[in-house]
Copies of this chain bind each other. A is one copy, B any other.
Amino acid sequence: MSDPGISIAVVDAKTPGNVGTIARAMKNFGLSDLYLVDPPELDPDGDAYGFAGQARTDLLPNAKTVSFDYLVENFHTVGTTATTNSDHRRHVRYPYKTPDELRDSLASVATETVVIFGRERVGLHNEELARLDEICSIPASDSYPVLNLGQAATVICYALSPLSIESTQQPDQIVRAPEADIEGLYAEFDRLLGQLGETDDRDRLMRLWRRLLGRAHPTKREVSSLRGVVRRSADRVEPPSRE
């Protein structure tokens, strides 16, 4: 889709490199609108532009500096936090959505959404989170759940990317070969077993071969290549002598 309606905002970041990392992740995952609240100075020769990759030419220089109020007043707001409340009686950081849950819920709503990231170390303050509509938190190891700011934004841009990427760099996934081709390969393999003199074990080996290839979803090209190998093998194996 051309306009996913998802923007990213960063509040009071201290490290220009993190802003650049976020810009790059956005461009990698099909997002384009970046809002900065109280940003650090972004020197064109510094880390922000250095870490932004190709986002240095468009997304990063086009980032808009705005107020926190502007975000609250103009968007459906999603605050991000590593620290959720463990107590459902407190609502500042609870209930939260995981990134996947956020993606699924946004898929069915027409809205302009901004996902907001807080400052390094302390994230968004409670007073800020209290003004936002929803909370999103990345499930991570309870022994070390705090992601780096740029890495957290990368994960969330990735998780939301099915909403924002119209076409990826990837070609079509595996197309399983026509079943007739696969059966033809099985037949050649069975013939090879016959040529090899297998009798008692032939059925078991056929099942094993069928299971192995079956779950690999072989492509037409794979099947025809393998079929050639098996056929040539069967042709060239001497049949067992009948002594």
Chain B positions within 8 Å of A54 at CB level: 144
**Stretch in contact with the other chain, from A6-14, A151-159, A197-205, A234-242:** A151-159
Which of B137, B154, B165 is A154 in contact with, Cβ under 8 Å? B154
Question: With A51-B148, A89-B221, A154-B151 given, is the CB distance from A142 to B168 under 8 Å?
Answer: yes
Which residues of A (29-66) have their CB < 8 Å from a CB of B? 29-30, 51, 53-55
Q: How far is the CB of A97 from chain B (nearest CB, A)?
A: 9
Question: With A95-B174, A146-B53, A148-B51 given, is the CB distance from A169 to B154 under 8 Å?
Answer: no
List the number of copies, as a whole number. Answer: 2
Question: With A158-B155, A165-B139 given, is the CB distance from A171 to B88 under 8 Å?
Answer: yes
Contact A144 B53 (CB under 8 A): yes
A141 within 8 A of B: yes
* A interface size (C-beta, 8 A): 53
Chain B positions within 8 Å of A137 at CB level: 170
Chain B positions within 8 Å of A55 at CB level: 144
Q: Mark A73-88, 1 if CB is under 8 A from B, else 0.
A: 0000000001111111
A145 within 8 A of B: yes
